[in-house]
Structure 1
Amino acid sequence: MPDLRGIMAVQGTEARTRRRFVAPGGRQISGLQFDGHQLVGIHLEKVTTESLGAIDQISGRVGTAVDICEFKQRDGTVCTYGDSGGDIVRGPWKLQREEWIFVVEQFFRDRKLGASLAFYTTAGRVYKLSGMTAVRSPRFAAPFGEQVCDLSFENGRLVKVLTCNPKKELQWRL
């Protein structure tokens, strides 16, 4: 399976407090590794043409920060990260059978699991656990097999993303 994914990071003033892990081509994220409050690594599984996404659903609990993140795997195993706490339940978000996580991003703070955790999937979805201290930040993931072709901004804010199929010829008008 060719690796058609890539990340183009345009970083601003909050860039130093973000950590992003990207699964290499042919792999999916199936677990997380934390050292205290910092996301320091990921667990990977191979993706084949017959395989399903490893994660069935994502959920969590938040308060001022992300307290708990849970991955329910397709085999029924539940992986829980973090400690008790968080008054607000987020999710569960059910992933499609052919959908898998290929990027995880943490907005780091010195508490709990950080200010936010975001999961980018091959279906072009972004699932986000955000505490009250998180910075509001738009995120976008192009569905697997597509790419970003155009961006629209209003007053310096990203408001629209246009995707296209890279195998089709693009026509640009000036």
Structure 2
Amino acid sequence: MIQVLYGDITKVAVDAVVNAANNSLLGGGGVDGAIHRAGGQAIIDECILIRQKQGGCETGHAVVTTAGNLSARYVIHTVGPVWRGGWEDEAQLLKNAYTSCLDIALEKGVRSIAFPNISTGVYHFPKDEAAHIAIHTVIDYLNAKNVSLDVWFVCFDNENYSIYKRLLTEVGQ
């Protein structure tokens, strides 16, 4: 099941919430800041341990921590690409970010996951293209792995919400 929701990702009742993180993993603005504030110190503490072990998180990759005070069990932190005109493999890096999150979700036995609109805020990835990549990457991944997972795309603005609703209708979801 793939659905779209307009709202606050920190309030969604799922097994795993995806954080659109930066390379430092120490919080920031937008979704990243909201998840760190709502989840509390436990998330920050685990992010610090990950930084000490591997130096942060590379673009297109993901790491997992506790969800702290959130209702989820896990926060999967992924770093999406900064849009640079599409000439620096941004589409593939965004696809890798979604795939990395799904790999961790399967590894952890997650049955439901909520994704934000990765890279479409301060990283300026074009919203239509990002949504297309997100939806098709998730559908292709679930079909290739033959797994059932409840996926929520949680949109923070009306524009993304409309784009996701339209694209999900087009693919029959």
**Category of TM-score, reference length = shorter chain:** under 0.3
TM-score with structure 2 setting the length: 0.27
Which of the pair is proportionally richer in helix?
2
Which of the pair is proportionally richer in strand?
1
